[in-house]
Amino acid sequence: MKKIQCKREDIGRGPLILVNRDHPLRESSVQLVPLDSLSPEGEKVCLERCAANLLQACVRSVGGEREIVLVSGWRSHREQQDIWDATLKTDGEAFTRKYVALPGCSEHQTGLAIDLGRAARQIDFIRPAFPYDGVCGRFRQRAAQYGFVERYEQGKEGVTGIAHEPWHFRYVGTPHAKLLQDNSLSLEEYVPFLRTGPKNCLLEGRIAQVFYAPCAGEWTEVELPSRCGRVQVSGDNMDGFIITVWGEQR
Ligand SMILES: [Zn+2]
């Protein structure tokens, strides 16, 4: 029997961490890289290394290099605070609570979230236009293949606590983006879904099995299927780990 050990402190690390008003970011230790494209203000947009590579690949695959603008990626706590304060001042509290996450509770602080906009002379920094048709629509269709999901969907406001944000994408990796999409789940709903039992996902001819392992102390021992290929572990930023086991390479 193959086994792996998961460390308690890794609950707050990995592409599947849930960061929202109930689950603040615990730490930030990801490797950030600047993206080639420029934001409207000419500042470099940074993302976690894996997310950055796959985002660029997805944008390229739909020929969106000129039309898709990276509006906002990684933010420090300070930047999130500044955005919160400025929005509060100009747009009031109700608007701010709807569209801006509390400092410490923003996905942008993880380096795994990106706000996208369609190229235009004027781009709204808080609510950029990113429509459902044209090249932006093609990006949406491909996003899950590259590990991205539209994070704050219409109809999920009661679950996510954030208004519908067509521009905000979150990197969760594969096969999770596809599992979320196929089952119409927000990230908040993913762990409860996995707790009902292991899930299989077929992706590009390979089977991935995803299951949940609750934290069982300083170290959590997780048994793996006897025949398995690559294994990935992500914390959930709550109280456990999401394990992904890929089928053996043939
Ligand atoms: Zn955003």
Given this model, what pLDDT does residue 250 score? 59
Given this model, what pLDDT does residue 41 score? 58
Question: In whole angstroms, what is the distance from residue 183 CA to residue 199 CA?
Answer: 11
Output the CA 201–ligand 1 centroid distance in Å: 28
Question: Tens digits of per-residue pLDDT, 234-250?
Answer: 999 999 999 999 987 65
Question: In whole angstroms, what is the distance from residue 179 CA to residue 185 CA?
Answer: 8
Sequence-ordered alpha helix ranges (H) in 16-168: 49-61, 77-99, 134-143, 157-160
In this structure, what DSSP letter does residue 65 have? T
Output the CA 45–ligand 1 centroid distance in Å: 13
pLDDT band at 35 (very low <50, low <70, confident <90, very high): confident
Interior CA angle at 105 toward 100 and 109, to 5°? 90
Output the CA 94–ligand 1 centroid distance in Å: 17
Output the CA 113–ligand 1 centroid distance in Å: 6
Output the CA 208–ligand 1 centroid distance in Å: 29
- pLDDT greater than 90 at residue 51: yes
For the chain, give the percent of residues with pLDDT over 90: 82
Question: Residue 109 has which token pair?
Answer: 């602080």
Q: Give catalytic residues, as residue numbers.
A: 165
Nearest CA to 58 among 151, 182, 147, 177? 147
Question: Tens digits of per-residue pLDDT, 69-90?
Answer: 999 999 999 999 999 999 999 9
Question: In whole angstroms, what is the distance from residue 210 CA to residue 196 CA?
Answer: 11
Question: In whole angstroms, what is the distance from residue 166 CA to residue 177 CA?
Answer: 16
C-alpha torsion 116→120→121→123, nearest 10: -30
- Residues with CB under 5 Å of ion ligand 1 are 115, 168
Instruction: List % helix, strand, coil for the chain (3-state, nearest 5).
Output: 30, 30, 40
Distance of alpha carbon 37 from its chain centroid, rounded?
20
Q: Which pTM does this prediction carry?
A: 0.94
Nearest CA to 188 among 22, 75, 8? 22
- pLDDT greater than 90 at residue 38: no
What are the chain's domains? 1-16+185-250 (3.30.200.180), 25-171 (3.30.1380.10)
Q: Map residue 178 onto helix, strand or coil.
A: helix
- pLDDT greater than 60 at residue 40: no
**Side-chain half-sphere of 146: how many Cα atoms within 13 Å?**
24
- pLDDT greater than 70 at residue 37: no
pLDDT (mean) for 96-125:
93
> Which element (helix H / strand E) includes 64?
none
pLDDT (mean) for 6-13:
95
Question: In whole angstroms, what is the distance from residue 233 CA to residue 119 CA?
Answer: 36
Given this model, what pLDDT does residue 186 score? 98
- pLDDT greater than 70 at residue 16: yes
